[in-house]
């Protein structure tokens, strides 16, 4: 069984975008707010874990638009299920942490 | 696959530098040997001022300033020469430092070129993929600010990219 990738905030942002749509480096960067250079190793780890798959678009299609070919990334079936679980778990942890950090009105000292 | 062109990669011809260095050496040797009389030094300084001013064409005030300082040096009494000289050395040091920094900036290759070369740190099959990805991302950048942000992103992520590439290839 492949090792699950570390669920950093950046990884969560990338997964959140990938859950919405198949996308490519620059679009992923814009949607997640992270530089594409930061995203690249994350995608490598997700690909190695089997969560993400990638494909290069047809060179002819890119040439028609006068730009380089793009590499599109998408979640695999297994990756999608794991990403949903991972993001749900991360959201729960954030809620727990927020609850611990926020002051409890009933617990105020006189 | 070719690397993107180096922006501002202007290089001074070696011949010009050699001639300049040779002239300075000859004048220095003549000075040490006592073959040049005292009045020749301000004139040499003036020639140097004009040459430097012409070389730094975008700074005409520099030539004017050097000529004025030379005139003052030639006409001022000996007691003032030390003060004028101190001011001039201070100014020359700043201009020299600015010129050095400017040269260093011009000769530093652009970030995209550095990225192209850094690809050699990656496993062989990964290099082309990384370069193609960078090319497609940078091509999509709408303005220079976005381009710089992405290049900086790739540069700062090089260690993580290299380590991850080798780990995932094992």
What is the token pair recorded at B30?
A: 């003549």
Distance CA A20, CA B119 (A): 31
DSSP secondary structure of A34-67 = S-HHHHHHHHHHHHHTTSEEEEEPPHHHHHHTTS
Sole residue written with tokens 């050496």: B25
Higher pLDDT: B17 or A102? It is A102
Instruction: Supply the pLDDT for residue B5.
Output: 39
CB neighbours of residue A10 within 10 Å? 16
Distance CA B22, CA B28 (A): 10
Distance CA B4, CA B135 (A): 10
In A39-98, the residues whose Cβ lies within 8 Å of chain B are 40-41, 44-45, 47-48, 56, 67-71
pLDDT digits (tens, 9 = 90+) for A25-82: 999 999 999 999 999 999 999 999 999 999 999 888 888 888 999 999 999 999 999 9
The per-type count for chain A, helices as H runs and strands as E runs, is 5, 3
Q: What is the pTM of this model?
A: 0.60
Residues 6+ apart with CB under 8 A from B36: B27, B30
Residues 6+ apart with CB under 8 A from A71: A24, A25, A54, A55, A56, A57, B129, B132, B133, B136
Instruction: Supply the pLDDT for residue B76.
Output: 65
Low-confidence ranges of chain B (pLDDT < 70): 1-15, 17, 20-21, 28, 31-43, 45-46, 49-50, 52-60, 62, 73-74, 76-82, 84-85, 87-88, 91, 104-109, 170
A71 with B133: Cβ contact below 8 A:
yes
Residue A7 pLDDT exceeds 70: yes
- List of chain A residues whose C-beta atoms are within 8 Å of the C-beta of residue B154: 35-37, 40
For strand A71-75 and strand A23-24, is the pairing parallel, antiparallel, or unpaired?
antiparallel
Note whether B129 and A68 are within 8 A (CB): no
Distance CA B144, CA B6 (A): 16
- List of chain B residues whose C-beta atoms are within 8 Å of the C-beta of residue A34: 153
Instruction: Supply the pLDDT for residue A61.
Output: 85
Sheet holding A52-56, edge to edge: A23-24, A71-75, A52-56
Helix H or strand E segment including B136: helix B124-140
Q: Does A31 touch chain B (CB under 8 A)?
A: no
Q: Does B136 touch chain A (CB under 8 A)?
A: yes
Instruction: Supply the pLDDT for residue A15.
Output: 94
Of all residues in chain B, the one with the smallest CA distance to A34 is B153
Residues 6+ apart with CB under 8 A from A15: A46, A51, A75, A83, A86, A87
């Amino acid at each position: 069984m492949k090792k699950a990738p570390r669920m950093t905030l950046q990884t969560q942002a990338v997964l959140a975008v990938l859950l919405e749509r198949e996308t490519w480096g620059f679009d992923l960067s814009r949607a997640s707010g992270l530089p594409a250079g930061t995203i690249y190793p994350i995608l490598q780890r997700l690909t190695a874990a089997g969560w993400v798959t990638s494909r290069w678009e047809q060179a002819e299609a890119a040439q028609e638009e006068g730009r380089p070919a793009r590499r599109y990334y998408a979640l695999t079936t297994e990756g999608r299920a794991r990403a949903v679980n991972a993001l749900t778990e991360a959201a729960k942890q954030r809620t727990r942490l927020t609850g611990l950090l926020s002051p409890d009105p009933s617990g105020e000292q006189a | 696959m070719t690397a993107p062109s180096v922006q501002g990669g202007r290089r001074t011809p070696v011949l010009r530098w050699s001639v300049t260095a040779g002239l300075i050496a000859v004048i220095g040797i003549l000075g040490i040997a006592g073959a040049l009389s005292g009045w020749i030094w301000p004139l040499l300084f003036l020639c140097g001022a004009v040459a430097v001013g012409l070389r730094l064409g975008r700074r005409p005030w520099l030539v004017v300033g050097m000529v004025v300082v030379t005139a003052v040096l030639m006409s001022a009494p000996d007691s003032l020469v030390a003060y004028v000289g101190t001011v001039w050395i201070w100014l020359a040091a700043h201009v020299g430092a600015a010129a050095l920094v400017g040269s260093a900036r011009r000769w530093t290759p652009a970030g995209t070129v550095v990225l192209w070369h850094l690809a050699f740190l990656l496993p062989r099959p990964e290099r082309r993929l990384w370069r193609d990805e960078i090319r497609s991302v940078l091509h999509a950048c709408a303005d220079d600010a976005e381009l710089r942000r992405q290049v900086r992103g790739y540069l700062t992520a090089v260690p993580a990219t290299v380590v991850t590439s080798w780990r995932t290839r094992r």
